[in-house]
Amino acid sequence: MTNDLPHNAFKAALAKGELQIGLWCCLADAVAAEICAGAGFDWMLLDSEHSPNDNRTILAQLQTVQAYPTTAMVRPPTGNAVTVKLLLDIGVQNLLIPMVDTAEQAKALVSATRFPPEGVRGVATQTRASRWGRVHHYLENARQEIGLFLQVETKAALSNIEEIARVDGVDGIFVGPSDLAATLGYLGEPTRLEVQREIEAAFRSVRAAGKPIGILAPDETLARRYIELGATFVAVGIDTMLLARATSALLKRFKTSQKE
């Protein structure tokens, strides 16, 4: 343990164009997070948008995952300066902000991750992020190791996607296939051709802006296709889905009448 600012290996790898394979985590539990971290994913998304996490449960998962060579990324329920500040203070270094539709929103989120005069992040000296004040020059250097990733998942966002991606301080764009499908008029059909075409166009725009592109793809064929199309941070599974499928399949082997 040193008093250096913790290195953000995920952000550094993406900046070099290295593929980062991730797991989407909704179980909201430190033991579950530890089991998943032990698999060796490059990154794990701890979700608070649709999962029963709060800052205490996120904190417990951060402490657990930190013991493994896996980077945690956290998705708050919504992106605003207060939510971002609280997560950064407990030591979150990678944020995934849902529902970002405009470059103005993106700029406000960048500002939320930076201390004045550059931004509006509130200053606290006694936080886990600075190892309780022991990290030398935390206030000056914190922003270098913070990764800000924005979710593009509405029709409006698609029309602004390149502008959003070009905002200085945005480290990558992540497509939310389910919400995108819904807003395009195909609720529950993210694999539909029309949605896939929009996803491919989104990938092209983000790549044109020179930023990393990521996506959630629990279907292996789709995940491999997205990687071929240039996605460099791909969540290839969801913890709840893996558990639900494995438990149903196990029981089915013993009770033949049981449906998966």
Ligand X SMILES: O=C(O)C(=O)C[C@H](O)[C@@H](O)CO
CA separation for the pair 164, 179 (Å, rounded): 18
Size of the site for ligand X (CB under 6 A): 8
- Residues between 83 and 142 that touch ligand X (CB under 6 A): none
50 is a contact residue toward ligand X (CB under 6 A): yes
14 is a contact residue toward ligand X (CB under 6 A): no
50 is catalytic: yes
Kindly tell me the burial class for residue 257, based on how many C-beta atoms sit within 10 Å of its own C-beta (0-12, 13-18, 19 or more): exposed
CA separation for the pair 202, 191 (Å, rounded): 15
To the nearest whole angstrom, how small is the minimum distance from the Cβ of residue 219 to ligand X?
12
Q: Choose which of 146, 216, 222, 223 interacts with ligand X (CB under 6 A).
A: 216
To the nearest whole angstrom, how small is the minimum distance from the Cβ of residue 49 to ligand X?
6
**Cα–Cα distances in angstroms (integers) from residue 185 to residues 110, 138, 154, 189, in the given order:** 31, 46, 11, 9
Q: Which residue has the tokens 């997560």?
A: 87
177 is a contact residue toward ligand X (CB under 6 A): yes
Region from 32-40, 81-89, 175-183, 247-255 binding ligand X, contact rule CB under 6 A: 175-183
Tokens of 101: 């539709």
To the nearest whole angstrom, how small is the minimum distance from the Cβ of residue 2 to ligand X?
35
Nearest to ligand X of 47, 171 (CB atom):
47
179 is a contact residue toward ligand X (CB under 6 A): yes
User: Does residue 185 contact residue 130 with C-beta atoms inside 8 Å?
Assistant: no
Phi, psi of 47 (to 5 degrees): -100, 130
Nearest to ligand X of 129, 234 (CB atom):
234
Tokens of 195: 């949605």
Catalytic site residue from 7, 50, 136, 137: 50
Region from 12-20, 106-114, 127-135, 171-179 binding ligand X, contact rule CB under 6 A: 171-179
CA separation for the pair 240, 257 (Å, rounded): 23
**Closest alpha carbon to 198 in 221, 182, 219:** 182
**Closest alpha carbon to 47 in 10, 2, 98:** 98
Nearest to ligand X of 154, 160 (CB atom):
154
To the nearest whole angstrom, how small is the minimum distance from the Cβ of residue 51 to ligand X?
8
How many Å is the maximal CA-CA distance in the chain?
A: 65
Q: Contact residues for ligand X (CB under 6 A)? A: 50, 151, 153, 176-179, 216
